[in-house]
Structure 1
Amino acid sequence: MSFGRRGTSLPEGPSPRTRAWVAFLLRHGAIIWAIAIALGVFGTWRTVLVYAHLRSDLELLLPRQTPSVIALDELRERVSGLQYLSVIVDTGKPENMPAAERMLDDLAARVRTYPPDLVRAVRVGDAEERAFLEKHAALYLEESDLQAILDRVQARRDWEVSKETGTSLDDDPNAAPPLDFSDIEKKYDERTRGKGKTENGRFENAEMHTALMLVEATSYSSAQGKSAELFKRVKHDLAELGGPDKYAPGMRVGYAGDVAITVEETSALVSDLSLSAVLVLVFVFGSLLYYFRWWRAVVIILPPLGLATVLAFGIASLPPFNVTELNSNTAFLGSIIVGNGINVGIMLMSRYVEERRRGMPVEPALVLAVWGTRPGTLTAALAASASYGSLILTQFRGFRQFGYIGGLGMILAWVCAFVLMPPLTRWVDRGTVDPRPLSRDSFSVHVARLIKARPRAIVLICAAVTAVAVATIGRLDDSQLERDFAQLRRRDTWTVGEGYWGRRMDTLLGTYLTPMALLGDDGDQTRKNAASIRADRDDGRFGDMVNSVRTIDDVLPQHQPEKLALLEQIKDTMTPRIRASLPEDKKTTIERLLDESEDHPIAVEDLPPTFTTGLRERDGHYDRIVLVYPTPSKELWEGPALASFVGHLRQIAAENAPPGMRPARVAGSLSLSTDIIACIRRDGPKASFIALAGVMAIVLLLFRFTVATARVIVSLLVGVTWLLGLVVGFHIKINFINFIAFPITFGIGVEYAVNVMTRFIQDGGRDTSQAVRATGGAVALCSATTIIGYSSLLVAENRALFMFGLVAVLGEITCLTTAVIALPAWLESHALRDVEERRRDLPALREDEPRPSSR
């Protein structure tokens, strides 16, 4: 069947080919279903394997060739460590701090027994590092500062000598050169103390009621496996110790750091998916029962749909697709395939039940149902598949995997429904279909009456809404893109989760725990990069985003022989009389500097392991990496600030690249976030345009260009316009997950309009009532099940999933409204116009007719 020249060709009825196809399915149903079951076992096995590799890390969303992903892979190959799990104790009151210390010490003792492939180091404070610095304090002073100390001591010595020998020209005792080193002491005290608020050589602050323990993971990895194992073991050991209440009532424990973020976000995904699956199954089952009022319809529809779903994941996991793990974009595709794919089965079953309630036998009813729903559902399935498939053409890996699985799912849902439902229907339907026709009180009947009574008013209202939406869309700009990644985390993270405890940790330590890393290829390149970053930080070009910069030169003192020589001169010059002249509050500091400092150079092997974390490479190099520690602030979550920060680091790396060598690579979570924003800005419009073009091409290919085809496309465009108007009007931010709702909506929007238009044409193209009452009701059920699938995400803890569900539900509502109300009203208004034209022409026609002669 095709739309005629004016889109209103009369139905020709089922063809012999359709009758033969249905007869074939019914005759070989047992064999077909045996093959389906075997495929189902394979699909289920592959689906379980794919879901077992569920990961929430951002890098899985980006293409492998993205600079941040390349840099992160290189960082893992070169360096171990740099990821932490922080156990944070809220003591409740300062008096509980000793109890918190005992608990963390006991827990640290247990964690230190963990396998070396899980834990690299455990710290409850920085006492070891401070002791090392005090022991080698002189070597960590700059050479110019040691020279300044020597100059001041020598000046005082010379004054003392001249006074003793009587050669002094100044008899004023107050003219003695002061032995004041407070300026130098302040300089290094600020460097040592940093911006943190720790006390007593431990990671604690009594006034903040906070103490913490840092567990450094062995490898830098965003994989859930190791992170989950470490997190689980720490929580288990803390429980075995009796928990915080055993040490002091009123204390609380929380977790922060990269490990905690990975575990928290992944557990939220798993929890959200489980809840989503349950809600979808329960409410979809209930919706089918309510609409069909025949429980066997549910038994017929769901098994083919389930097979299509697991086959989509199973096939996508094989070459050439190779989707072997799920990320935050693809994790909830199971619910979406069920919600969208069920539409085919609903349309087929709705037409079948309609014919059976008219008294038609099973096989003829199946023939008529297959013939009547095949064009519309095939177009809809191909359009939906094209919408998903458009994402494959983007570079954003999160989009591409979504496109593979979703595109396969829509095609497989159509194939499984039209191959498996007819024989299953024959087995299940033993003359038990409820003979009652559609209730006169059903929603679709009321909608049909309203359209019949007020078509022009509805068209005018829809036109007005469209005009408002177009005007609203005019305000769309780059600010609509979600740049605050804090809004995409777990819903409760900022009140009770890692977000809350992480802020307390950052405030206590005064720095972002995990640095950005510039991966260079030689020491000179590294020194130039570090010098440029420090210079730009001091000039304010980074704002307040850079807390500290570290290279091996910062932890392994430079020019040690020269410094040791100056130290010996200071010792020789510092006579007992000069020592006695030192201020009492400074005497201890100077004596520690002179008497306790080692008199031999420090080697890399002498440094505490924490000094070289992130700098020590697996091949033994120490001088090829610059670590940039950001200052904890809200800017770390905001897109523009992130883009500026990461872009500036990359610019410095490019400017300092030696001739013939590549620039240093900028690795870290912040560069990943920056590249995600850039990827969405580039691939988002591209995916939307391709999806829209693909959907329109499929409609034109299957139905040719007719008036009816144009009406279907206009219905789609109006629905999408309304959706965009709502998104812009209500300031709904577009992020890397909910953007997928837009190309998907193209497929949905055309699906509903095609099914309504197909039925309108099959019924003769003159009356919209039956199309709205029958097909419109089925379309509404299709939309209801899809809305159920999307709405299940509105209860998700993950905010990104919530925002996807919100945009997708709005798209469903707008496209359903245009297909079931706006399009039929438009058709009805045109039918009224044709009738009025014929009535106006009728008197003239009668006057032109020959009058019978009188006798």
Structure 2
Amino acid sequence: MLLGKDAHRSTLLFAGALWATSRLTINSNQLDLISQDLVEVKAVKRVIDMVGGSGYLMLALRSADEPTLKRVSDELAAMLHADTQNVRFLHYKMPVQFVQENMVLFLKTEDLAEAKRRISAFLKDQIRRNNPFYIELKKTEPVKLELQDLIDKYSTVGKKSIVDDYYISPDRKMLLLLIKPMWDTNELSKTKAFIEKLRQALEKYSQTNAGGVQLVEDYERMGDAKTVAYGFTGSYKTLVDDSYAIDESLGPVAILAFLAILAITIAFFRKWAPTLIVVSGMVMGTFITMGFTYITVGELNMITSILGGILMGFGIDFGIHFIFRTRLELGAGKPYDVAIQDAILNAGRPALVSAVVTSVAFFTLMVSEFRGFSQFGFLAGCGTLILGLTLFTWSPALLALMGRMNPALPRRLIGAMTPPAAHASSGKELRFPKPGLLLGVSTAVAVLVCSAAVPWTSAPPPTGRELGFFERLQHGVRFNYNTRALIPEGQPSVRLQDELTQRFKISYDPTAVYTKTLEDAQEVYEELTRNAHKYPAIEQVVSVYSFVPPPETARANAKILAEWQEELKDLDVAALPPGLQEKASLFLKMLEARPFGIDGVPEIYAQQFRHLPTTKPENRGYLTFIYPNVDLMNGKLLLQFADETSVIRTASGKEFRSAGSTQLYARLARIVLRDGQLTVVLVALGILIMHFADFRSVPLALASVIPLTVGLAMMLGLMSLFDLQLNFMNIIILPILLGFGVSHGLYLLHRFLEGTSPMVALRSVGAAVASATLTAVAGFASLLAAHHNGLKSMGLVACIGLITTLVVSFTVLAAVMQLLHDRRVRSGGQGQPPAVHSEAVTPSQEKARAA
């Protein structure tokens, strides 16, 4: 009666869970996944308030025809400026006349003197040769004006060329429009919608522009006078691509996981009825977990959104073990109701311990400062318990209802399995032959594989090439700090970002340093520029003071300019060749340059470093931008740059903190590395405590963890042998594998402790253990179909770990159980299994026993 009520309650609960699940949404704001109390988060929020967001959405135009590039950029800029709902501001050109006229004040004095010498010699030679009365008695070569070495040194200010107003590459084939949306980079859904709107607007432009220019989104093609190729990149686009590569993988991954789990379950049961029972329970438990998520957390994030597929693979094993045990009890001749109750009792205890330990493994992730991991740990831990409870109530309830309709129906639907014989026909007990040899050989193989994970040398591995087999053995399993290994292969926005780096010689979005006053901004600028040796990872510092010449240099240069101007006061521009006359006016204007301070910087330059009018009063001030000279997608270099720039200490003793995605990612990387190690330790301790409490025996507790400890070590060894590396995503799999890996030893040992021999234990629950493991493998293997390489690496590492723990269970643990059994026989003569497990019991006998 109670089981029937359980089925009705489960159905009602499932209906409520469906409603709650339908209301779940995915929060794509990654900033919400980090503790809002972190200083890095507060600093980034200040910068966002000051300038409207971190980084840019970059629209890159590519064409071999420079006039077409500039005309199209002007027309697109007018279109973007008109979109006041989405575009805060746009940079695509900057007047350079002021910088050109005053650049001579920024030159090193010795460089200016050298330029004066070369130009004076050239001008004298040109004036002499342009004189109609000039006669050369002896042929001489004209003086050549070689200034390229000096021009290259001073051709940019603030990552912007001073040769052209437009943000155009030196080869004149690519032009950039830097768009600042009305939101920050973390609001991914808004960015995605805006990019789609831009695509439509660019398509419409192709159809309506007067020049007949066609815009084509292409990340390889070079345009011409009638075609301009365009592409999107920048922090706004790369974050969208990375996050939505995960999001768009979820649907196919969940479907593949479900189909694979269904196929494996059918293959092991060889019947539809038990498959439908456990799969329906799995689906019900998964939806209840999603409903629980809505009630407790309210939404999913980019990490917890993969919860469903993983829980399906983990959770179904509770139903598998219950059905297999029920078949075994029915095979012993028990009535269906007694068989169901005994299956709950006998399979329930290891299932309960397994559920608790697995959930504890997930719960340890809650110690993480990264909310994506802590929420995942909470929901996955609760989901494991929910699935275990659901399958151990739903499955028995369905079978009980069927039995009431027809007592023979449960046996006919799910089948029965005769308990394995404990003795051969000769009367000898069935056992694993030569368990000592089996243990020795399997242990030796395991040790050899595990040894591949150990770094046998302290020397760092060579970079820039793949390691050979024996080199991998020397360096053991390695950690891949390069986040490029996680993003989708050939991601267009990243390829375009790399192209921009090459064409413009620019790095990624800069890190910003906030200062309240101009005086503080000057201190920061002078600290970073005058002590460059302390900051090797910094390429360039850009500040409002980048446009103010150093006072001492400016005074020395002004003296040279004044002398030079005096020398050329009688210069007749008309006496120069026609090609030089156009440049002479700019040159003479440059000679008039005189020192100026911060007040002399034009507003169009100064406003780039000042807060917006909408900024909160407490956040108003100035920003200094720091550009790295290292690849920030390399985790080690990212951490180096973050360490150098996190806190800037000036000569006066003041400290200023930098802010930006670099600092956030560096903090997140350290959180992942620290939490990955901490959770493994916590899970291991929790497992040992739980197993000792379960078995009340140190040898049995240690034996039960053999599969997961040896299996995990073998997984690391195989990763080293096949050149697979740990990374910032798959490292979180380690504590999860520890939690799930306990189920192998638990079910085998609990069956063994019922008094059976190891051979009987393996034949009784081995198929269930294998089936449950393979369904978990199927859940993780579905991640291999994801577009995101980080998800793929998680799936691959999990599959290897689950399979190695299964192999260890059927070899090393089996040999250990046989040795324990032999000792049990010798010490107490209790080797015979109870009759209920070796011989069929009649219904009348069973009823008497139950009474």
TM range (shorter): 0.7 to 0.9
Letter in 2 for 1:466: A
Structure 1 partner of 2:2:
24
Structure 1 partner of 2:640:
644
Structure 1 partner of 2:454:
474
SS in 2 for 1:613: helix
SS in 1 for 2:705: helix
Residues 615-637 of structure 1: CA deviation (Å, up to 9, x unaligned): 43425888632111224x5x322
Structure 1 length-normalised TM: 0.77
Q: Residue 600 of structure 1: CA displacement?
A: 13
1:799-838 aligned at under 5 Å gives the runs: 799-832=789-822
Q: Residue 202 of structure 1: CA displacement?
A: 4.0
1:191-210 aligned at under 5 Å gives the runs: 191-192=155-156, 201-204=165-168, 210=174
Structure 2 partner of 1:686:
678
Higher RCO, 1 vs 2 (CA within 8 Å, ≥6 residues apart): 1
The counterpart of 1:86, out of the listed 49, 58, 61, is 58
Distance, in Å, in 2 between the alignment partners of 1:103 and 1:352 is 73
Structure 2 partner of 1:75:
47
1:693-704 aligned at under 5 Å gives the runs: 693-704=685-696
CA contact (8 A) 2:480 2:727 kept: yes
**Percent of aligned pairs with the same residue?**
19
Distance, in Å, in 2 between the alignment partners of 1:657 and 1:704 is 64
CA contact (8 A) 2:692 2:701 kept: yes
CA contact (8 A) 1:396 1:683 kept: no
Structure 2 segments unaligned to the other structure (5+ residues)? 125-143, 208-213, 218-222, 421-428, 462-477, 830-851
Q: Note if 1:407 corresponds to 2:387.
A: no
SS in 2 for 1:636: coil
Residues 552-601 of structure 1: CA deviation (Å, up to 9, x unaligned): 222467989x9999999899958851455997677655533656999999
Structure 1 partner of 2:234:
257
CA contact (8 A) 2:278 2:391 kept: yes
> Residues 514 and 768 (structure 1 numbering): CA distance in 2 closer, same or farther, change over 3 Å?
same
Structure 1 partner of 2:132:
none
Distance, in Å, in 1 between the alignment partners of 2:773 and 2:191 is 40
Structure 1 partner of 2:15:
37
Structure 1 partner of 2:526:
531
CA contact (8 A) 2:47 2:54 kept: no
Q: Residue 784 of structure 1: CA displacement?
A: 0.7
Distance, in Å, in 2 between the alignment partners of 1:283 and 1:411 is 23
Q: Note if 1:795 corresponds to 2:785.
A: yes
Letter in 2 for 1:577: D
Structure 1 partner of 2:274:
297
Structure 1 partner of 2:445:
465
CA contact (8 A) 2:355 2:385 kept: yes
Structure 2 partner of 1:285:
262
Structure 1 segments unaligned to the other structure (5+ residues)? 1-22, 161-179, 442-448, 840-855
Q: Quick check: 101-110 or 274-283, which moved more?
A: 101-110
Q: Residue 25 of structure 1: CA displacement?
A: 2.4
The counterpart of 2:187, out of the listed 212, 220, 223, is 223
SS in 1 for 2:787: coil
Structure 2 partner of 1:214:
178
Structure 2 partner of 1:489:
487
SS in 1 for 2:540: strand
Structure 2 partner of 1:388:
362
Q: Note if 1:121 corresponds to 2:89.
A: yes
Structure 2 partner of 1:612:
607
Letter in 2 for 1:519: Y
> Residues 595 and 818 (structure 1 numbering): CA distance in 2 closer, same or farther, change over 3 Å?
closer
> Residues 307 and 625 (structure 1 numbering): CA distance in 2 closer, same or farther, change over 3 Å?
same
CA contact (8 A) 2:729 2:791 kept: yes
Q: Note if 1:426 corresponds to 2:400.
A: yes
Distance, in Å, in 1 between the alignment partners of 2:599 and 2:198 is 32
Residues 643-662 of structure 1: CA deviation (Å, up to 9, x unaligned): 222212235x1355756xxx
Structure 1 partner of 2:845:
none
Structure 1 partner of 2:842:
none
Structure 2 partner of 1:268:
245
Q: Residue 827 of structure 1: CA displacement?
A: 1.6
Distance, in Å, in 1 between the alignment partners of 2:102 and 2:667 is 44
Q: Residue 739 of structure 1: CA displacement?
A: 1.1
Q: Quick check: 411-420 or 806-815, which moved more?
A: 411-420
Structure 1 partner of 2:308:
334
CA contact (8 A) 1:81 1:120 kept: no
Structure 1 partner of 2:727:
735
Q: Quick check: 396-405 or 269-278, which moved more?
A: 396-405
SS in 2 for 1:386: helix
> Residues 356 and 147 (structure 1 numbering): CA distance in 2 closer, same or farther, change over 3 Å?
closer
SS in 1 for 2:59: strand
Q: Residue 62 of structure 1: CA displacement?
A: 4.4
CA contact (8 A) 2:4 2:401 kept: no
Residues 68-124 of structure 1: CA deviation (Å, up to 9, x unaligned): 333222222332254222233454xx3x565555555554443333234x213345x
Distance, in Å, in 2 between the alignment partners of 1:436 and 1:412 is 27
Letter in 1 for 2:690: I
> Residues 231 and 724 (structure 1 numbering): CA distance in 2 closer, same or farther, change over 3 Å?
same
Distance, in Å, in 1 between the alignment partners of 2:697 and 2:111 is 88
Structure 1 partner of 2:504:
509
Distance, in Å, in 2 between the alignment partners of 1:147 and 1:769 is 87
Residues 318-353 of structure 1: CA deviation (Å, up to 9, x unaligned): 56xx474413x4332221111111111211122224
Letter in 2 for 1:349: I
Structure 2 partner of 1:577:
570
Distance, in Å, in 1 between the alignment partners of 2:770 and 2:725 is 28
Distance, in Å, in 1 between the alignment partners of 2:336 and 2:610 is 74
Distance, in Å, in 1 between the alignment partners of 2:233 and 2:531 is 31
Distance, in Å, in 1 between the alignment partners of 2:83 and 2:600 is 24
Residues 146-193 of structure 1: CA deviation (Å, up to 9, x unaligned): 9989x999xx9xxx9xxxxxxxxxxxxxxxxxxx99989946972437
Q: Residue 830 of structure 1: CA displacement?
A: 4.1
CA contact (8 A) 1:97 1:211 kept: no
SS in 2 for 1:677: helix
The counterpart of 1:235, out of the listed 199, 203, 206, is 199
Letter in 2 for 1:780: A
Residues 364-387 of structure 1: CA deviation (Å, up to 9, x unaligned): 232122112110100000010111
Q: Quick check: 61-70 or 373-382, which moved more?
A: 61-70
Residues 253-274 of structure 1: CA deviation (Å, up to 9, x unaligned): 4321112102211221112212
Letter in 2 for 1:643: L
Q: Quick check: 216-225 or 791-800, which moved more?
A: 216-225
How much is the aligned-residue C-alpha RMSD, in angstroms?
Answer: 4.4
Distance, in Å, in 1 between the alignment partners of 2:822 and 2:193 is 70
Letter in 2 for 1:254: G
Q: Note if 1:141 corresponds to 2:105.
A: yes
Letter in 1 for 2:529: R
Structure 1 partner of 2:79:
110
> Residues 195 and 741 (structure 1 numbering): CA distance in 2 closer, same or farther, change over 3 Å?
same
